[in-house]
Amino acid sequence: MSRKNRVPLADRVARAAEAALAAQHFVSAIDILVGIGWLDSGAVERWRRGQTDCLEEVVQVNLPRISEAMRLFGSWAIAKGLFPSPTAYVGRTPGRPTLRFSRGGNPAIEASYRTHWVSPELSEKKRERLAETASRAPELVVIQPLNTEWVCNRCGGTGDLLMMETPGPACLRCVGLDDLEYLPAGDALLTRRAKSKSSRYAVVVRFSRTRRRYERQGLLVEPQALADAQQNLEAP
Ligand SMILES: [Zn+2]
């Protein structure tokens, strides 16, 4: 038995919770599962992109253990006097689906997973702002592939940009983003204005082999939003 396993689960949950609370003023079920080492952040990212049916599927322990950890987390949060804050979890895909945590999909269990516990030290206003940010739908991410020999999993076509789906890459026409216009990064003000005027947009990233991570290249925005933003900036 490893040394880690001898630490009681309640202590491991409390330690993960304290760390998340100190870092961000709230704690989520995902913070706990990642913090105690049962879930890796790569799996969370795949789940957010809709590549996994539910989160429990990628947690590395069985259901009774997960339930036990979640029960301990709930008791810890209540004992600490944290405020429960129901949070929306929306997928990072154009359909904006509500993400599922549990295999069974029981509403009460889903609700407990979606509850963020917020520090009582924050003012009511700050708590509200935090809740708003946490529930915001994540940005859509479009990839500029390094390998240009890719094939769309839906239509067999290809293109300069793709979006990752569970079965594989998809072209922008198939995901319904092909009407958007590319705005390269560089002009921060124009980017911010165009984004705020565009009801649909996606972030364009490319993998950097040297830095070993995805880097922002620019934004896809509605052509009208871009034209309006440009015109506003040119106006005296
Ligand atoms: Zn396609």
pLDDT digits (tens, 9 = 90+) for 173-203: 999 999 999 999 999 999 999 999 998 899 9
State the chain's mean pLDDT as an integer.
92
Q: How far is the CA of 157 from the centre of ligand 1 (A)?
A: 5
Inter-CA distances, 221 with 179, 188, 191, 197, Å: 9, 14, 9, 9
176: CA distance to ligand 1 center in Å? 10
Q: Kindly list the strands in the beta sheet with 115-118, ordered across the sheet, starting from the edge strand earlier in the chain.
A: 26-27, 115-118, 83-86
Helix (H, G, I), strand (E, B) or coil at 117: strand
> Domain coordinates of the chain in residue numbers?
3-135, 140-234
Per-residue pLDDT of 47-90, as tens digits, reads 988 888 999 999 999 999 999 999 999 999 999 999 999 999 99
Ligand 1 centroid – CA 226 distance (Å)? 25
Q: 27-51: per-residue pLDDT in tens? A: 999 999 999 999 998 899 889 888 8
Q: 126 is written with which tokens?
A: 């700050």
Distance 124 CA to ligand 1 centre (A): 46
Q: What is the spatial distance between Cα 44 and Cα 33, in angstroms, rounded to a whole number? A: 10
pLDDT tens-digit series, residues 209-233: 999 889 999 999 999 999 999 998 8
Dihedral sign for Cα atoms in the order 8, 108, 38, 133: negative
Residue 2 CA to ligand 1 center (angstroms) comes to 48
Cα(159) to ligand 1 centroid in Å equals 9
Q: Which residues line ion ligand 1, judged by CB < 5 Å?
A: 152, 154-155, 157, 171, 174
